[in-house]
Amino acid sequence: MTDIERMLARARAGPARLRPAEAWAAAGRGALIVDIRPEAQRRAAGEVPGAVVVERNHLEWRLDPASSARIPEAASHRVRWIVICAEGYSSSLAAASLRRLGLYEATDVIGGFEGGPATACPRSARPAPPRPAAREPPRRPEDTTRAGGDGAWWRCGAVCHGLCT
């Protein structure tokens, strides 16, 4: 077994993963489906109607209830998040990461968006935009990011979880 296979197995040892039909039923009972696929994948394969769209590189920042970059739906640690990706691999790792943040009910969809019969995953052709933070971080001049509350600016040059874009 490779290192990534071991990592994936540990990630999948959390709460039971859901089949697509189980995920939609859970959403009907109040769980939130979060689609972490990049925009290009959503545009090519279709959208999950009603899903919260948060691309993978922003996920922890947007779903952590303690984060200043959280989305409105991330109101508490009791929210049940169901993560979906294209094939069910990235979503397993993402759900495990959410559990490490205290979102203990986070799980994912077995097989992802592409893994089940076409009727199992509802689809919409129109891409939904990613969810912004509940309070948008301040905009910045080109190639810089803003420091905490003191208003100082410095050179960024790195992708930093969307907080400086």
| Residue 135 binned pLDDT confidence (cut-offs 50, 70, 90) | low
The pLDDT tens digits of the residues spanning 82-96 come to: 999 999 999 999 999
Cβ neighbours around 111 below 10 Å, total: 21
The CATH class given to the 3-108 domain equals alpha beta
| Sequence-ordered strand ranges (E) for 29-115 | 32-35, 52-53, 81-84, 107-108
| Residue 81 binned pLDDT confidence (cut-offs 50, 70, 90) | very high
- For the chain, report the end-to-end CA distance as a whole number of angstroms: 39
For the entire predicted model, the pTM comes to 0.73
Choose the weakest-confidence range: 4-18, 59-73, 116-130. Answer: 116-130
Which helix (H) or strand (E) segment holds residue 153: the answer is strand 153-155
Per-domain boundaries in the chain? 3-108, 135-165
| Distance separating alpha carbons of residues 88 and 95, to the nearest angstrom | 11
Helix axes 90-100, 3-11, angle to 10 degrees: 60
| Sequence-ordered strand ranges (E) for 24-151 | 32-35, 52-53, 81-84, 107-108, 144-146
Residue 95, CB-side half-sphere exposure with 13 Å CA sphere: 35
Q: Residue 115: its pLDDT value, please?
A: 78
